[in-house]
Amino acid sequence: MTTKKLCINAMGIALFVVSTLCLQVPVFQNYYLCLGYIVMAFYTYHFGTLSGVITGSFGVLIYCLLTSGLRGMPGWILGNIVIGIICGIACTYSKKQKSIWLKQAIIVSAVVLSTAIGILGAKSLTETVLYSLPFAVRVATNFFAFVADIVVLIIGFELCLTHESLSKKITK
């Protein structure tokens, strides 16, 4: 990894943490719209799968260490790795498409699928193993995070697609 790429990823991690800390819109109990996912979406779309994974996983690691210590952190990191990989692959594929509707459909499908696997699956399973809680209970509790994360990720990727579309119109 080059120094430039390392610095870009470090900025992404910092932006993830700051945006998550600065504005928290509550959804349910201790779950809120995590605006760090907008940063993760931006980095995944514009800098690639690895940058998205690094931004999301290290961003949530630092955020958790600053706010709640190790509680919940392993599950969130694993979930963000899954989300970053699947969404990164979808972004690479969607960029080859000409239709904006097809690009959106690919990315939205990837967001829902990756968040289901990452949050409802990987995060819930990690918490079941680490904290000896029933898997069904963890899935039910993580459902609110699943919905909140989908909303923010879709907004983030939509901003990327809109930016790309406007940039193409301006340069013509």
- Residues 90-125: tens digit of each pLDDT: 999 999 999 989 999 999 999 999 999 999 999 999
| Cα–Cα distance, 94 to 60 (Å, whole number) | 26
* Cα dihedral 144, 16, 121, 48 sign: positive
Answer whether residue 20 shows pLDDT above 70: yes
Neighbours of 26 (CB within 10 A): 10
pLDDT digits (tens, 9 = 90+) for 51-69: 999 999 999 999 989 987 7
pLDDT computed for residue 9 by the predictor: 95
For residue 28, list its beta bridge partners.
31
Q: Which fold has domain 3-171?
A: Arp2/3 complex 21 kDa subunit ARPC3 (1.10.1760)
Answer whether residue 165 shows pLDDT above 90: no
Q: What is the mean pLDDT of residues 25-31?
A: 73
pLDDT computed for residue 172 by the predictor: 66
pLDDT digits (tens, 9 = 90+) for 66-83: 987 777 688 999 999 999
